[in-house]
Structure 1
Amino acid sequence: MLTTFLVAACGGLADSAGPPAADTGGTGPITFAIGRDTTAYLGPLIDRWNRSHPAERVTLLELPEASDEQRAQMVANLQAHSDVYDVLGLDVVWTAEFADAGWIAPLDRSLFPLDKVFPGVAATAIYRDRLWAVPYVTNAGLLYYRSDLLAKEHLKPPRTWAELRDDAMRLGAKYRIGGYAGQFLPYEGLTVNFAEAVQSAGGSILSPDARRVTMDLGPARRALDFLVGGVREGWIPREALSYKEEESRLAFQEGRLLFARNWPPAYGPAAHSRLAGKFAVTRLPGPDGPGSSSLGGVNLAVSAFSKRQKTALDFIRYFTGPEIQRLVLTEGSFPPVWAELYDDPALIKRFPYLPVLKETILSARPRPVTPDYNQVSLVISSAVSGALDLGRPTDETVAELRQQLGEVIQSGG
């Protein structure tokens, strides 16, 4: 599916034969390139390392917020074999591409406690049975909802698309706010929103090895009709067609939406806003019950062109360890990758959504492991955007999308 399983599982702690693991030499100051820190939590965490490693200080290089723009900036740097970046914060779907291109160094699995990590999350760092990165934070889409308004109406959070539609239309009109929004600008976020709708409808987009198009027209049409119908009927505001993660977060947090699909990091800022105590989260709805999220997150990798790979490796070991994993949640509201933290009573008391998030992560579907994922995503987001603009019929869009994906797979991107 943009969806289904990864090619390689995470079994065993010994890498197979192949290129040598990251260079054990090279120490000194390093740079850490990652997407923009919208919750301002990274600086203090990096300061913890810097205080105890004055000769190996880490400088944070914040890249754009949107994943497409982050990737473009990283690729331009790595294609030039630049050593400006030492540690890379990679979207989980980039592992195969960056490994296949020789831009990141393979790692020794025995250095990392991968058994502590959710199995599906650990698998996102593996390509062709080698470890190329280390899971740092995970992600799974959640439905944010105005618990105060639903309580006034004696309603439970919606579990199906029909319930979401009815609540969004009726209460949106009654309280004069938008009904529902996700990430609908044509970029990776829209690909994820469409993939979640397809898999929630029981379908898939690509085979696990990303070599076949498996998108049945029925589930895909049902998924697209759900999104397009929302725009046509008005319970998805047209303004949402320009939303990325931050825009949708602000729209919900500022009280302009009844429901919003977003990642867990949106929870912390909302909990410290005027919306505190007035919202909650639940699993994404589907046609007939709870739906399925796409698995997101960030893995940390060592640039193949770094001249200080030992420091980079040591920093990754520290930054993916138990101390920082807890702080990733408590300071940044990001979902940690260590499974045991989701069962910690103290953390559950402070973050009551953790059980729902754990369930969502375990039921989430990973995106395909393919070096051509970026091209696949561009094709999907472009086609879906055309339908959401109400410029193309859903039947025509789905049929053409299936054909275009086949061309991408056959051509190798």
Structure 2
Amino acid sequence: MRWIHAAGRGLLVLVVILTGYVTSGARAQDGSGGGRGPLTLATAGDLTHYLGPLLQGWNRTHPGEKVTLVELPDSADETHAQMATDLRDGDRSRFDVLNIDVNWTSEFAAAGWIRPLPRDRFPLGAFLDPVTDTATYEGRLYAVPYVTNAGLLLYRKDVLAKQGVPPPRTWAELEHDARTIAPKYGLGGYAGQFLPYEGLTVNAAEAVYSAGGTILGDEGARVTVDSAATEGIGFLARGVREGWIPKAALTYKEEESKQAFQDGKLLFLRNWPYAYVLASAKGSPVAGRIGAVPLPGPDGPGTSVLGGSNLAVNAHARHPDSAARLIAYLTSAPVQRQVLTRGALPPVRAALYEDPGLIRRFPYLPTLRESVINAKPRPKSPRYDQVSLVVQAVVHDAMSGHETPAAAARRLARELSAIPGR
């Protein structure tokens, strides 16, 4: 699963399997007590391989709670399916602590799969402002932010410099440059993550939000699709129809789109910050020739979807005290720094975005901070999995030319309204 982080690099999911005796009582219900034991941490798609070295620090100082790392599938959809299947087993579940996509918090909380957490046990005040909202449901804290994310527009700064133009701030500028400049250099114009999976939900939501619209309101109670959805879907569909979005992009997830940009095949790419890091690394064909700016919108900077992941505790966790202690460790300042420096993943601690040394090493940090502060979460819903499937299917059909953007927006509203208990 990629980090989307909405993600993102693809979305990292951690699952802690806490073995040992089952606890009971009030402390077990709020995650603040109940015994300690060894842990198994599962992650999907740890593509930078940072977790193993990071967890060595925990294992050295917590010999009775050693963590064994296990990886789940890369795909967010596959990981969600595996986690949901396991959590439905109740007290037979193997999973005790879950690092879930930020948009699964409401769904998992509403289903009773994860337990509320005590706010005073975690450093919420040190986090970037928007991220804590992704960890709440109906006013209660059900998870702790671990990694945040926001989409950026990566671009070939060498190509734009030769043309004497700045990076685009609006959709019109992006379209013009992708249509007229890219072909001169044998490049595709613009790509995102347009395969029908969670990444397309993110890209579609960003287009709708940037156009001034929303998709759901009141944590799923209202469908709010309006003319802005037509405008946002129209922007994406127009790109494919006019050719400045390559048709191959309809098959891209995060990694495929990153690789196309890194191989020098694209002028512009919407992706998470990890793509900037890898495309800038030694040996990359475009190293030293790329830049990053906020996503464009119709009249100026657009709106990114807030990606990342949150750490939650299974309602049937066998060692909730160990679970809470591990969460506190993973969100501590030293570990959050390693999340960035080892994993190329955006931390939730606000102070790291103002560290001069980190900015020198990761020059996109000020842009990323701006994007995170202005980002919006994906539609909150206890049936988010179904909401996302509808968005993916409708938008992909529009981008494939099977229906007009206006018809797609009407269908989107109709099918979302038909989801029971959304």
Query: TM-score by structure 2 length?
Result: 0.90
- Kept in 2: contact 1:31–1:84 (CA 8 A): no
Equivalent in the alignment of 1:336: 347
Q: Secondary structure at the match of 2:220?
A: coil
Alpha-carbon deviation of 1:97? 1.2
Q: Secondary structure at the match of 1:71?
A: helix
Q: Distance in 1 between matches of 2:309 and 2:164?
A: 38
Alpha-carbon deviation of 1:187? 1.2
- Kept in 1: contact 2:101–2:309 (CA 8 A): yes
Q: Distance in 1 between matches of 2:120 and 2:369?
A: 26
Once the two structures are aligned, what percentage of the paired residues are identical? 54
Alpha-carbon deviation of 1:158? 0.6
AA aligned to 2:247 is: R
Equivalent in the alignment of 2:103: 93
Alpha-carbon deviation of 1:35? 2.3
Aligned with residue 182 of structure 1, among 186, 189, 192 = 192
User: What RMSD in Å do the two structures reach over aligned CA positions?
Assistant: 1.7
- Please say if 1:368 is aligned against 2:379: yes
- Kept in 2: contact 1:32–1:89 (CA 8 A): no
Equivalent pairs counted in the alignment come to: 395
- Please say if 1:198 is aligned against 2:208: yes
Q: Distance in 1 between matches of 2:28 and 2:135?
A: 16
Equivalent in the alignment of 1:129: 139
Q: Which structure 2 residue ranges, 5 or more long, are not aligned?
A: 1-5, 7-25
Aligned with residue 169 of structure 2, among 159, 162, 168 = 159
Q: Distance in 2 between matches of 1:399 and 1:369?
A: 20
Alpha-carbon deviation of 1:23? 5.6
Q: Distance in 2 between matches of 1:253 and 1:360?
A: 22
AA aligned to 1:130 is: R
Alpha-carbon deviation of 1:63? 1.7
Equivalent in the alignment of 2:54: 45
Alpha-carbon deviation of 1:202? 1.2
- Kept in 2: contact 1:45–1:324 (CA 8 A): yes
Q: Secondary structure at the match of 1:96?
A: helix
Q: Which structure 1 residue ranges, 5 or more long, are not aligned?
A: 4-16
Aligned with residue 323 of structure 2, among 297, 307, 312 = 312
- Please say if 1:327 is aligned against 2:338: yes
Q: Secondary structure at the match of 1:124?
A: helix
Q: Distance in 1 between matches of 2:35 and 2:277?
A: 38
AA aligned to 1:300 is: L
Alpha-carbon deviation of 1:33? 2.8
Matches within 5 A, 1:190-229: 190-216=200-226, 218-229=227-238
The Cα offsets for residues 108-142 of structure 1, whole Å up to 9 and x where unpaired, read as 11111100012210111111222111110001111
Larger CA deviation: 50-59 vs 239-248: 50-59
Matches within 5 A, 1:11-410: 20-22=29-31, 24-81=33-90, 82-216=92-226, 218-272=227-281, 273-408=284-419
Q: Secondary structure at the match of 2:287?
A: coil
Q: Distance in 1 between matches of 2:41 and 2:32?
A: 17
Greater than 6 Å deviation, 4+ residue runs: none
Query: TM-score by structure 1 length?
Result: 0.92
